[in-house]
Structure 1
């Protein structure tokens, strides 16, 4: 089935007989038993809810997985993933990660006895050099947030399988519309469903998707035990958002490429990080493993005052955290997404006081460029 059709009809709606086109919101915490030792298939919404089940089946189909688990947030999904590991286990992770993920690994997971090495995962030899007896997984973000580094997922997966390691890929930026990590050898795909899957900046959600039955069973146990499941109403919002995923992604990418090219011509802009530009170091890998480039742009301006001038001068674009919605948002990573990353570490990654990150929406691209132009002047 074509991806566009999957977005609309990704799972069979067999939970009701009314003929309703929109999946019902089963706003129920619990479900009655038909008899002793009998179940309708639903017992308690922490275990499963009909609305959430439909969403999970849809996301699993989009990612080519056997199971998807919908969480209350993207960070809740990553937290549950970390419960697969035990004290003393070692994980290799992309060096340029979303700040919230770094905060979780450094302040919660380390406290729980896990160890980490952060490395540029586009450097396969560098990753290989860090593997040791205690290593259990490689955690990849590609493209990374906010420096847009690209990792060869297939190469990492081949290395991991040779050492019996799990591979988890955060696919938030490209979504299954542009990138399918499970088909490239990954074991688990992670999403902040808050972003492109929802697409409207109106709810929080997270996903773990796997194509392995054994991992599905383990994750389902963790899921029901820790309990950070997505509510029925929020599940419905995600179902509604996914219906327009492909349309939004196409328009957002079209806008992003035009804006990225325009930014490269601006005197006050020093660097533009967009994987759809042919001079991006990850361009070739991107064209090989993905069908598109997405709509995330980071760019470095000449001075801190220019960065603040843009943030305070924009009129159409919104200065706000998050990404992936229909509205174009601009973020100041050093004060927002990566504020908790130690300054020395942050600067070593290029996240300085001149760096801005933009999530391009579906507005008229000429209006967006005009807004950036007036803010730069």
Structure 2
């Protein structure tokens, strides 16, 4: 038999390895501490903040999918980002971030910069030539990338940005939460580190908070592991087990999310109440060609713009198949209003610079029947038309 694919190996992580009872699904190791074999003779595991068998199974599975040399599982996506910042930056260093990144990331970067931890440079990475010129001029220590961006789904051309970052000795970190390694593998394009909010698609069931860091080089993985242990950002055993469970259906779910999102985006762009639709799978999306080249699919996120907040209120009031809530990547469909929800922590100036308006809505397209989702959205748009 030929060697199984990375997807097969990752999704079978721990299957059939239980020697005590012969369980097909690996057990959860909830113990916080482990006995030493004898005086000064620690076993493979001694204290759960440092190591845990269940958490290591999940880390190995994500590392396999991303094609990395090592990785860690954190208590949240923000915990994963914080761990990378602790590992890669010191006082006097600088980080280049997207002008339109996730609001929680923006808040962390800027609050840490205000305390003097490092300097933040904001760049529009969708303008590849100008972005590369900025990287050469600024020579940041870390270049932080998010593609597709949250929530406008803008696309960054990873290979030239990463290559330019390497020219100036910068580490490149890519937030791969929206696509997962099933649809995009930044490490294969030269990125140094990938981060995930495992809360989202990797888990896929909206019942876990978690994060992950995967590094292309072993030394970077070891450094992140050290800081996660030192700062206590490691994830728990039970949460790790739940994410591992969710990942077993990841490839199937991602294709279904994408099929639903594609149908929803096509339907939205036909309605006169919709000002703009943002979905990289649409041929007229500015980043469509780049996305088609560097991604294995277009994902399950769609955003679109109405003409104002009054229209947003009318649209949301009465939705049956979309829940008004933050987060994304679950089996259920969600709608959020970024300016007042996921990106509310950004300053008005930052929101304007990122192009986030009060009429913008973000959809996480779930696994419901796309026909039902489209009918629900169209009913909402008719309420807008009736204003």
Match of 1:107 in 2: 111
Deviation readout 1:218-240 (Å, 9 max, x if unpaired): 11111110011111100000000
Does structure 1 residue 271 correspond to structure 2 residue 268?
A: no
- Supply the distance in 1 between the matched residues of 2:114 and 2:20 (Cα, whole angstroms): 49
Q: How far off is 1:278 after superposition?
A: 0.7
- The change in CA–CA distance for 1:229 and 1:15 in structure 2 (over 3 A counts) is farther
Q: Retained in 1: the 8 A contact 2:112–2:118?
A: no
TM-score by length of 2: 0.94
Does structure 1 retain, via aligned residues, the 8 Å contact 2:16–2:22?
no
Structure 1 unmatched ranges of 5 or more = none
Moved more, 152-161 or 97-106: 152-161
Residue 290 of structure 1 pairs with residue 295 of structure 2: yes
- Per the alignment, residue 198 of structure 2 pairs with 193
| Distance in 1 of aligned mates of 2:124 and 2:13 | 35
Q: Does 1:229 align with 2:223?
A: no
Once the two structures are superposed, residues 7-50 of structure 1 have per-residue CA deviations (whole angstroms, 9 ceiling, x without a partner) of 42145765644221111111111000111222220000000100
1:83-123 per-position Cα deviation (integer Å, ceiling 9, x unaligned): 12111101111111000000001112431431111111122
Tell me the SS of whatever aligns to 2:332.
coil
Across the aligned residues of Structure 1 and Structure 2, the Cα RMSD in angstroms comes to: 1.4
For 1:242, the equivalent position in structure 2 comes to 247
Question: After alignment, is 273-282 or 134-143 more displaced?
Answer: 134-143
* Correspondence for 2:46: 43
The equivalent of 1:130 in structure 2 is 134
Q: For residue 262 of structure 2, what is the aligned residue in structure 1?
A: 257
Alignment of 1:350 onto 2:355:
yes
Matched, 1:119 2:123: yes
SS of the aligned residue for 1:70 comes to: strand
Tell which deviates more after alignment, 315-324 or 297-306.
297-306
Q: Look up the SS of the partner of 1:164 in the other structure.
A: coil
Give, in whole Å, the separation in 2 of the partners of 1:345 and 1:33.
53
Contact 1:10 1:59 in 2 (8 A): no
Deviations 1:304-334 (A, max 9, x none): 2111112222012111000000000000000
Q: Is the 8 A contact 1:71 1:228 kept in 2?
A: yes
- CA distance in 2 between counterparts of 1:150 and 1:215 reads 26
The answer to whether 1:74 aligns with 2:74 is: no
Distance 1:366 1:128 in 2: 43
Tell me the distance in 2 between the aligned counterparts of 1:161 and 1:8: 33
| TM-superposition CA deviations, 1:160-190 (whole Å, max 9, x none) | 1111110000000000000000000000001
Q: Does 1:142 align with 2:133?
A: no
Poorly superposed stretches of 4+, deviation over 4 Å: 11-16
Contact kept, 8 Å, 1:94 with 1:119, in 2: the verdict is: yes
Moved more, 342-351 or 162-171: 342-351
Identify the residue that residue 61 of structure 1 maps to in structure 2.
Answer: 64
Q: How many residue pairs end up in the alignment?
A: 377
In 2, the alpha carbon distance for the partners of 1:14 and 1:33 equals: 23
**In structure 1, how many angstroms separate the alpha carbons of the residues matched to 2:167 and 2:18?**
43
2:70, 2:222 within 8 Å by CA — same for their partners in 1? no
